[in-house]
Structure 1
C-alpha cells in the first residue's frame, strides 16, 4: 500500500542514493510493520527491530540497497489511550518527520504510562500534556527536543474560535487519524504486531523473534 507524503516520516530507507533514473534505482522490497503504541507485543517487536534488526540492515549492503521499512500506526480502540498516543506520534510527524522513529521508540519504552489503569482517572488534555512533554524530552541529533507547546497545540481539544458551538471536531491531527484508520481497514489488518512483506502478510513472523531469526528470514526473502 502506498504511503501518503504527509506521513513520510514513517518510511525508512537505508541508502543515500538520490538518483531518479529507473535504470539505476532498484525496485525495493517493502516491509510494513503494523504496531500499536500501547501493545506490549508491538513494543517487544519494535525494540528488536530498532536495536538489532535495523542496524543489521544498515550494515548489510545486500539488504540496505534492496529494502525499505514502513511503520504503520495501528490504533487498537479497545484501549482508548491508543488513539491519544498515536495522535502524539502524528503531531511529531507533522512538526518534524525526522523525529518520528525516535519518538516512537520513546513511546514504546514508556508505554506503561499510557496503559488503561495509568490514564483512567486523567483528563484527555492532561494525557496530551504528558505526551507533549515526552516529545520535548527527545533530543534530536543534539539539537534539542521539539517545542512542547507546539506539540500540545496540535493535540489539545479546545472550543472552536470560529464556532464555539462545535463540540465534536477533534484536534489538529484528527484528519491524519482518519487516514490511518482508513488505510488499516483497507489492508484488513486487525492484530498487532502484523508484518506485511511486499503486500502479503508474513504470518510466520512473531514478536518473539530474535535478531538472528530476523537476519535469517531477511537473507532468504530480500534478493
Structure 2
C-alpha cells in the first residue's frame, strides 16, 4: 500500500481512510478500460471523494491507481510515460487524461502504431492532452518530459516514476491487468465486468472500519 510522494496524486479519496483499494491497470488493456470506465470512474471514485456517496465508503476507503504496463502491448510504455508526465505537470488533470487514454486506447494497439516511431507516438499522446483540459504551455511541458535524455539508454524524465510502478507490481507478484487488491491482498473475485450490485456487495463484506 506504499506510494512514493511524487506519485501521491495516484491516490484518490482521503489518505487517512483505513481501507485501501489498489487497482493495477494497463492503458492498452481492454479489460483495464472496462473496469476504469464502468467501475472506477462512474462508481468508485465518486463514492470515495463525495460525502454521502454510494456504498457508504467515504472516508473509509481510499483508492490507489497502479500503472502496470504489460510488455506484450508494444506501445504501453509510451502511454504510461505520458500519463506520468501529465501527473507531474498538471496532477489535477491526471484522472481526466487517464479517461482520454482509455477512450483512445485502440489507436495505440499493435497494428495502428506499427508504422509509427516512438517520437510520433509520443506526439500523439501529447496532443491528447487537449481533451483532458491541458493548455498549450502544459502540453509543451509534457512534451519536454517525454524527450529522450542525453545518455543513449537513459529513458525520459519520468522513467524513474515508471520504474517505481513496475517494481511495485513485481514486488506484489502482479501478473494480469486489471488486478485488484484490498488492504494489501489480491481480491481474486473482482471482475472487470462488475456493476453496481457486485461492488456494493464487495464493500459491504470488506469495509469494517
Could you state the TM-score of these two structures normalised by the residue count of structure 1?
0.85
For 2:42 and 2:115, the matched residues in 1 are separated by 34
Q: What does residue 163 of structure 1 align with? A: none
SS state of the match for residue 68, structure 1? strand
Alignment of 1:1-150 (within 5 A): 1-13=1-13, 28-48=18-38, 49-57=40-48, 58=50, 59-60=53-54, 62-139=56-133, 144=135, 147-150=138-141
Deviation per residue, 1:77-109 (Å, 9 max, x gap): 111200000000100111122221111111111
Aligned residues: 204
Deviates more, 1:47-56 or 1:172-181: 47-56
Q: What corresponds to 2:202 in structure 1?
A: 217
Cα RMSD (Å) of the superposition? 1.9
Partner of 2:176: 191
8 A contact 2:25–2:65 mirrored in 1 = yes
Q: Following the alignment from structure 1 to structure 2, what is the Cα–Cα distance between the partners of residues 114 and 145? A: 23
Which 4+ runs in 1 deviate beyond 6 A?
A: none
Structure 2's unaligned 5+ residue stretches are none
**Farther off after superposition, 109-118 or 46-55:** 46-55
2:185 is the counterpart of 1:200:
yes
Deviation at 1:61, TM superposition (A): 7.8
- Please tell me whether Structure 1 or Structure 2 has the larger radius of gyration of its CA atoms: 1
Change (3 A) 1:197 1:146: farther
TM-score (norm: length of structure 2): 0.91
CA offset digits 1:141-183 (Å, max 9, x no partner): xxx576221111111226x2xxxxx311111111111111111
Deviation per CA, 1:182-217: give whole Å up to 9, x if none.
111111101000000001000000011112211121
